[in-house]
Structures are given as structure tokens and as C-alpha cells.
Structure 1
Amino acid sequence: MQQVQSYQEVIAHNIAQLKLPATPENLYAPLRYFLSLGGKRTRPALTLLGCSLFGTPGIKAINAAIAVELFHNFTLIHDDIMDDAPLRRGKQTVHEKWNRDIAILSGDVLFVEAYSYLSKNEGDVLPKLMTVFNTTAKEVCEGQQMDMDFESSDVITISDYIEMIRLKTSVLLGAALKMGAIVAQEDNENNIQNIYDFGVNIGLAFQLHDDILDVYADPSKFGKQVGGDILSNKKTFLLLKAFELADTATANQLSNLLKNGSGKQKVENVTAIYNQIGVKEAAEQQKQTFYRKALANMAAIDISDEHKKPLLSLAEYLMSRDH
């Protein structure tokens, strides 16, 4: 993990050095605040790792990596608005600290800033980077729309959910790695496809792990409201699996809790049903399925195993993190 941590520090330093205008204060102060909250900087680190995997110093992909990180933070600001989330990384969300209109506009500026950094890449790789970035940005929006559509639908399947998280979460991890490979000018299409698929499958496993943490994490470490998905009746893998596994009486009990339950008691009662029918174990099993697929993608890349170690170490960490 040493190389990963080194790259994360480089990203954090570059983010801290971003020169944002002083005025209008209500436009830029929220961005300085939000970016100062930190975060794991995992996605931009993937861009640097994707570059170094193919024999080019990762730092060459720094502008693409910053673009990825700024885009990711833009999506977080807007997601928090749509989810009406009170906390992000243990601190007030932008729309809570300021207001919704300011949060929307500040997020928009961050999206533009991401393009500004992307445009700093060399002309021979820029068109490919733009194609990947634009496709991914659109897919992330599609995934978010699906997520919102799910709120008012009673016919969501687990395969629907997997497709939604692939778009909303996973494609950005795949794109981050692919953009690093493009900066490195990797020309083996099989390698490029497998590094992208590695990221997507890790992303799917990552989101399922996040679903599990939302219910089962230590509140002092999680940085978000534990049980938030339950309180908002969010159709996560765990909830959909619960309805799939439950008998009629338990399914009716769960439906009643979703409609009429509230607060801490609702979280405890729904979690008790999850524990009763083995939902956590089913989620862990599905997570491991995607993780194994990711490892198969990495094995198929025609690069020495030594060069793969940093990415494999990061993947292992993402599967076992507690926050």
C-alpha cells in the first residue's frame, strides 16, 4: 500500500493547492470547505496507478487524476442534495451548511473545474481521455437517475440494482484506471479492457461493501449516519435480498416497518430481520463474486505480477475497510 498512500498524498496536496477565486464567496467557499473534508482519494489514485501499471511514472497522469477527483466530489455534493443527507465524512453537507441552491451551483462549478484539469493533458491522448470522461459522466448521471426512479418503484430486481450501482459507482473506478492507461499510451486493447473491467468489478464489490457498512459499521468510524439507507427506505442489495429470502409473514413485517417505522427503532427492527434471514451473509457472498471477477481481470493483463501488486493491495483494502 506504500505506493497507493504516496499517490493519495500527492492528490491531497494538489487538491489543497487548488486556486479558487475569493468571490463570489458563497460560490467558492463551499468548494473550499467540501474539498478540505478530505476523503480517501481512491479514484484519482487509481488513475496514477493505472498509468504506472503500464510502465509510465504515475505522476504523468496527475491532471487526469485531479479531473477524476473533482468530478467525483461534484457528484457527492449533488448526491447529498438529492438524498437530503445531513453528513458527509462526518461533517455537515454543503446544502446543510449553506443551502440547496448554493450547493447546486457550487457543484456545477466543480464539474467545470474538472474539465479544466482534463484539458491540460497532452494533445495526443486528450481526445481518448475526453471520450472516456464524457461517457462515464453520462453513465454516472444515468445511474443516479435510476437510483431516484427506484424510490417510487415496487418492482426493482437485484439485477436492476446491480446495473444501477455499476453506472452510478463502478464505471468511474474503471474509467479512472483506463484514463491512467491512456496517459501511459498503452496500446494493447485487451490490457485496456481488463484494467477497465477490473475497476468496474472492484467498484461493484466496493458498493456492496458500502451497503453492508451502512447497516453494520461502527458509527464512530463510518463518518455517515449508520442505518441511513434503512431510514430512507433505500432499495439496496440488502433490502432487495431480504424480500427475496423472507417468508410471507416476514416480508409483511418488513413492509410495515418501511411504511410506518421511524428513527433508531426502525433501524434496529429492520436490522434484526436482516440478521434473522441471513441478508448480510448473502451480500458478502455477492461482494466476493465481483471481487473474484476483478482478480481474474487483473490476472489477464499482460504485465508482470510485480507491477500489479499496488493495485491488488488497494483492492484488498477496499474489501475490508471499516469506513
Structure 2
Amino acid sequence: MNIEKLLEEKAPLINKAVEKYIPRIFSKKALIFKLNPPRYSYNIEAINKAVAEPVWEFLDRGGKRWRPTLFLLICEALGKNPEDFIDYAIIPEVVHNGTLMIDDIEDTSEYRRGKPCTYKIYGLDVAINAGNAMYYLPLLPLMENREKIGAEKLAKIYEIYVQEMISLSLGQAMDIAWHKGLANADEIDEEDYLQMCAYKTGTLARMAAKIAAVLADANDELVEKLGRFAESIGVAFQIQDDILDLTGEEFAVKKGGRGQDITEGKRTLMVIHTLKVANPKDRKRLIEILKMHTSDQKLRDEAIAIMQKYSSIEYAKNFAREIVKKSWKDLERLLPESEAKEKLNAFAQFLIERKI
């Protein structure tokens, strides 16, 4: 099953749905003004310059659009026509891109998807505001279709959204505290790392799955199981992202060189495993390099070599495969046999084996 082709097919449909609710150029006819008319003035020029332009400059850089594709696959696996749900699939995708825009500021990153970060182009003020706007603008489909969705479903969806957005902030707090030395990062274990990932990267996949399941009339048990499965995909995706940061040549070019996570001092699964099994000399040296926050490629390569010495990259790859395999086993019996079910499983495998 060609998942890359599936993602390529879905991306323009998702982009079109995003544009329906967040136009490239706002006018007085924009849906947001229909749902929430301004009392005094539209100020279209300001909104276009400080919201539409930076948002679309960022979205047009690409991205895999895998979260909305997961959303649509879940609707299909539950027997629904995915085309009927595409407007709602933009929720996790736009929120995700908003988090990246803010994340780049928090990490003082230079590049995102091969171009200077948004704050480098438009300034901190515009980037922070645009990134925050991306947390809320994709909720417009829920407001537009509130009567069609119904009050009970709508309440469940908003509760899922709020829970996951809180989790997102907690995960980011952990990540920042560890790589800035605000909390003792040298003693964290795999469970600590996995919880950070479940909060940070797992949360938007979980949001996508649970909102899709609620809209597709799944019962509470199935909503939770689909959420857990999606969370495992999100965690595995993060692990693979961390692996590619150390090993992926094409991936590294887009990010500004191999080992960006080393520069940021991040405690990835590979770092945690190495610190656990390495001899005292190698353990001490790896911690030293991480605390330097260095951009020196020789030092970053030295840190990578230490992790490779203890087979930590292979350990992480196997770990990612296992958590997805286990969560699929828990979910599989609850889904009816269908092509969509097989696509969902193949989709998960693709995300953890990808090269970019």
C-alpha cells in the first residue's frame, strides 16, 4: 500500500479546506466575520499582513499533513465517507503548525522546512500572535456546523480539544525544563521521556483520532482505544524524528545540519538509553556536549558516535516499532475488517519507517 501517494493525494484537499476557513486574503466576506461580525471596523489590511500572510507563508512550506490524513482514515475505518469530514480534519493540522511556529521561537531555531523561521522573517510579535491564532482559527468548522453536529457531540469535541491543548503545554514545559537545565535532565528515565512525548507529540494525533471517532459515532471505548493508538503513532513519530535528526542526510539539510537536538541539549530516547548503559567516561562526555548547546558539527558528531557506540539508535527504532505494534493489537479487534482498516495499519508503519 503506497502511503506516500495517499499523503500526496490528501494534502491539496486538506489545504483547500484550510483555505475555506483561513483565507489567504481576508475580505469582509470571510467566514470568521460572518460568525463573529466586528462591531466597529474590519481592519482587513492589518489582519492580512499580521495573520493571513505569515500563516500561509508557513503552511505553503509543506509538511506531511499526516494528522488530518489519520483523521480521515479513522472516519473511513468507522464506515463513514471521509469527504464528509474533511473540514474538521484541519483542526489538528493547523494547531500543529501553530505549535511549530511558537516552538521555533522557544528553541531560538534558525530554519524550518528549509527556510528561515517565521519569527526571523516577520518578527517575534507577529509570529507569536499568528502562531497563537492558529490554535483557534481551525475551530471555525465546529462553529459553522454546530447545529449539524449537535450539542452533545460538540461538547465532547470541545472537551477533547481543551484536554489536549493543556497536555501540549505540559509536554512542552517538560521539554524546555530538561534542555534548559531547570529540572535534572540527567536522571530522567524512559517513562519520563514517553510521558513528555505523549503530551507533546502524541497529543495532536490523539486529538485527531478522538475528534474523528466522536464525529463518526464511535462508542466511548472505541474513542479511547483509537486515541491510544494515535498517541502511540505520535510518540513513535517523535522517536523517528529524533533518529532522523542524527542520521537522516536529507532531513538534516532541511533542519540546518545533523544533530540539531544535540545543540538544543534535548534528552531524546537515544540520549536517555546511552546515559543509562554507557561507561562513566562516555556518559560524562555526552552530558558535557549536551550542556554546551554547541553548533560545532565535530562536537555534534562526537555525541552521535557515543550514542552509536551503545546501539542507542537501533534501540530507539525497535522501541518505536513495539509501541505501535502493541497499541494496534489492542485496537484491531474493535474495528470491522475493511480496506480502510488495513490502510490505517499500513499508515502507522509508514510513519515509523520513513526516511524524511
Same-fold status (TM-score > 0.5): yes
The match for 1:32 is 56
The match for 1:173 is 205
Whether 1:12 aligns to 2:18 is no
Whether 1:245 aligns to 2:269 is no
Please give the TM-score of this superposition, normalised by the length of structure 2: 0.85
The match for 2:176 is 148
Check whether the contact 2:105–2:124 (CA below 8 A) recurs between aligned residues.
Answer: yes
Question: Which structure 2 residues correspond to residues 82-161 of structure 1 after superposition, within 5 A?
Answer: 82-121=106-145, 122-124=148-150, 125-151=153-179, 152=181, 153-154=183-184, 155-161=187-193
Whether 1:281 aligns to 2:314 is yes
Distance in 1 (alpha carbons) for counterparts of 2:245 and 2:328: 25
Please give the TM-score of this superposition, normalised by the length of structure 1: 0.93
Distance in 2 (alpha carbons) for counterparts of 1:6 and 1:185: 26
Distance in 2 (alpha carbons) for counterparts of 1:301 and 1:9: 31
Whether 1:230 aligns to 2:262 is yes
Q: 1:65 aligns with which of 61, 86, 89?
A: 89
Matched letter for residue 109 of structure 1: A
Check whether the contact 2:239–2:320 (CA below 8 A) recurs between aligned residues.
Answer: yes
Deviation at 1:16, TM superposition (A): 4.6
Q: Residues 81, 118 of structure 1: CA spacing in aligned structure 2 closer, same or farther, 3 A cutoff?
A: farther
Distance in 2 (alpha carbons) for counterparts of 1:177 and 1:129: 11
Deviation at 1:3, TM superposition (A): 5.0
Q: Residues 306, 26 of structure 1: CA spacing in aligned structure 2 closer, same or farther, 3 A cutoff?
A: closer
Q: Residues 185, 28 of structure 1: CA spacing in aligned structure 2 closer, same or farther, 3 A cutoff?
A: same
Distance in 1 (alpha carbons) for counterparts of 2:100 and 2:318: 28
The match for 1:293 is 326
Check whether the contact 2:98–2:135 (CA below 8 A) recurs between aligned residues.
Answer: yes
Distance in 2 (alpha carbons) for counterparts of 1:200 and 1:317: 15
The match for 2:74 is 50
The match for 1:163 is 195
Matched letter for residue 192 of structure 2: D
- Aligned-partner SS, 1:7: helix
Q: Residues 4, 272 of structure 1: CA spacing in aligned structure 2 closer, same or farther, 3 A cutoff?
A: closer
The match for 2:229 is 198
Using the TM superposition, name which of 263-272 and 290-299 deviates more. Answer: 290-299
The match for 1:272 is 305
Amino-acid identity (%): 27
Q: 2:244 aligns with which of 213, 216, 228?
A: 213
Q: Which segments of 5 or more consecutive residues in structure 2 lack a partner in the other structure?
A: 27-43
Render the CA deviation track for 1:159-185: whole Å, top value 9, x for unaligned. Answer: 111100100011211220121111111
Deviation at 1:4, TM superposition (A): 5.0
Deviation at 1:190, TM superposition (A): 2.8
Deviation at 1:75, TM superposition (A): 0.8
C-alpha RMSD of matched pairs (Å): 1.9
Runs of 4+ in 1 over 6 A off after TM superposition: none
Check whether the contact 2:245–2:251 (CA below 8 A) recurs between aligned residues.
Answer: no
The match for 2:33 is none
Check whether the contact 2:149–2:215 (CA below 8 A) recurs between aligned residues.
Answer: no
The match for 1:81 is 105
Distance in 1 (alpha carbons) for counterparts of 2:284 and 2:164: 39
- Aligned-partner SS, 2:149: coil
Matched letter for residue 9 of structure 1: P
Matched letter for residue 179 of structure 1: I
- Aligned-partner SS, 2:144: coil
Matched letter for residue 67 of structure 1: I
Render the CA deviation track for 1:214-267: whole Å, top value 9, x for unaligned. Answer: 111113676213210011111111111111111111112222333455411111
- Aligned-partner SS, 2:305: helix
Check whether the contact 1:12–1:41 (CA below 8 A) recurs between aligned residues.
Answer: no
